A = this chain, B = another copy of it.
């Protein structure tokens, strides 16, 4: 369950710093293997040698916060929490409750906690390829965001107000 992407530091960085630890948690409820998508993106990342990644899987979105808490207790610097939310009202409520748990953890630990949630009704019910596409894009973009938050926060400042979106096309900045 622990996937050490790398411990050696990029030579250009000079003196070795400890790698940043990222915890990835996803669900068996999801219809796409989101944890694997996140790991794949991190494994291909140019700065993969500065990362150490762990992964667990839980039943559903409501179980994500306990896993995230354990990751933080184990010393993770950031967590990527992936889940799919069903289309019914009761599913939406479950997703909201899970999000509030994750929010409480962000407030408590003050560490990046990327919430990669896809709602099954973001695409038409029969459009399984469309669903996969949204999940794939959103998970990968948030994995990249996670690395930026840990290693290149100044890049995010440059992107401030540019209407970035994950899973769909960017909205871009307002046109004046």
Cβ-defined partner of A28 (8 Å) among B122, B131, B161, B175: B161
Interface residue ranges, A against B (CB under 8 Å): 1, 26-36, 55-59, 62-63, 65-67, 69-70, 73, 90, 92-94, 96-115, 119, 122, 128-129, 131-132, 142, 145, 149, 153-154, 156-157, 159-166, 171-176
Q: How near does chain B come to A30, taking the closest CB pair, in angstroms?
A: 5
Are B34 and A132 within 8 A (Cβ)? no
Cβ-defined partner of A29 (8 Å) among B109, B112, B163: B163
Are B98 and A101 within 8 A (Cβ)? no
Chain B residues with Cβ under 8 A from A30's Cβ? 160-161, 163
A97-B96, A128-B174 known; A35 vs B160 contact (CB < 8 Å): yes
Q: How near does chain B come to A68, taking the closest CB pair, in angstroms?
A: 8
Chain B residues with Cβ under 8 A from A63's Cβ? 106, 112-114, 149
Are A157 and B32 within 8 A (Cβ)? no
A107 to B111 Cα, complex, angstroms: 14
Chain B residues with Cβ under 8 A from A132's Cβ? 174, 176
Are A32 and B103 within 8 A (Cβ)? no
A58-B156, A93-B96 known; A31 vs B173 contact (CB < 8 Å): yes
Are A107 and B66 within 8 A (Cβ)? yes
Chain B residues with Cβ under 8 A from A129's Cβ? 174, 176
